Amino acid sequence: MQHPLKKIAGALAIAAVALSTTTAMARTFRSADVHAKDFPTNMAVKFMGDELSKASGGKDSIKVFGDSALGSEKDTVEQVKIGALDMVRVNTAAFHGIVPESMIPSLPFLFRDIEHFRKTIYGPQGDKILAAFDKAGFIGLALYESGARSIYAHKAIRSVADTKGMKIRVQPSDLWVSLISAMGASATPMPFAEVYTGLKTGLLDAAENNYPSYDEAKHFESAPVYSETLHVMGPEVLVFSKKIWDTLTPEQQSAIRKAAKASVPYYTTLWEAKEKEARAAVVKGGAKIIPAAEIDRKSFVDVERPVWDKFANTPELKALVQDIVNAK
């Protein structure tokens, strides 16, 4: 017969295991963003939080901090790296110096159109890019489209010659500096939250972004001509701190991954509507649009091709570029 104490110890051990697998500590994950609360990126992370909350019976949730409240993209990426912050949604540009694969979708004129982008970035090539965040200490959860970026200034830009000598704000990234320098312009790296003042004070002649950011940050007030150069379609990325991830149960980890995946189609619908709405809003606010049909795209493509070779500079990165280019 089993000793009564042994029996109790056995029961306790079983109870402890049950406790550790079913009662992971309830968590509210904090996620940072530079955009306002109602911007599609934040709405997507909020949606993800609701999904996660449902999946965990109300235990796990996400709180979004928008408007650069926790700092610039660079600052918040650093906080996530050391485990001081759980999550962050940034443009892939914020990872160019940390995850080489994140540079690839920012290569100028890489995607033929949005269908080409979706097929690859929401497909196997995007999965490869997300997986690459792991070795840098991040869990890549989702990539979200960001439309195409175009240059805005006081004057129209119709060919690359028009950008000569202009001071153009870029996201802090070597690729971005090279890309704008290749146009013959002078690249000024600066966090997103400072661009409004930079344009207003004349420190900058121009900046570049998609319609929703151009509208949200009111950049059209001082740079009212938006020329559809459509030079980069680099996506947004949502990452989780690997330091914190490793403290979670496998159940929590898979619920987070699942909720992040579910947020992508939700985001895409919001984004499509937002692009149209923002384009109309800037026109209403006084902006003038130079449509893509009036831009000498070839003049830009010709100067930008060397940027591909400079940054896609390993056999693996070159293969990834080729894989995207070849996707039909």
Give CA–CA dist 298/230, Å, rounded. 12
**Closest CB to ligand GTR among 188 and 213?**
213
Cβ 106 to ligand GTR shortest distance, Å? 10
Binding site for ligand GTR (CB under 6 A): 34, 73, 90-91, 93, 146, 171, 192, 209-210, 213, 236
Task: Tell me the β-bridge partners of 139.
Answer: 240
* Cβ pair 235, 264 in contact under 8 A: no
Cβ 93 to ligand GTR shortest distance, Å? 6
Closest by CA to 106, choosing from 171, 36, 195, is: 171
* Cβ pair 102, 95 in contact under 8 A: yes
* Cβ pair 14, 6 in contact under 8 A: no
**Closest CB to ligand GTR among 55 and 166?**
166
**Closest CB to ligand GTR among 91 and 163?**
91
Cβ 301 to ligand GTR shortest distance, Å? 22
Give CA–CA dist 316/296, Å, rounded. 32
Cβ 172 to ligand GTR shortest distance, Å? 9
Give the Cα-Cα-Cα angle 303, 213, 106 (nearest 5 degrees).
35
139: tokens are: 């869990």
Cβ 318 to ligand GTR shortest distance, Å? 26
**Closest CB to ligand GTR among 136 and 207?**
207
**Closest CB to ligand GTR among 90 and 129?**
90
**Closest CB to ligand GTR among 139 and 168?**
168
Residue 154 DSSP label: S
Give CA–CA dist 211/125, Å, rounded. 26
Cβ 327 to ligand GTR shortest distance, Å? 24
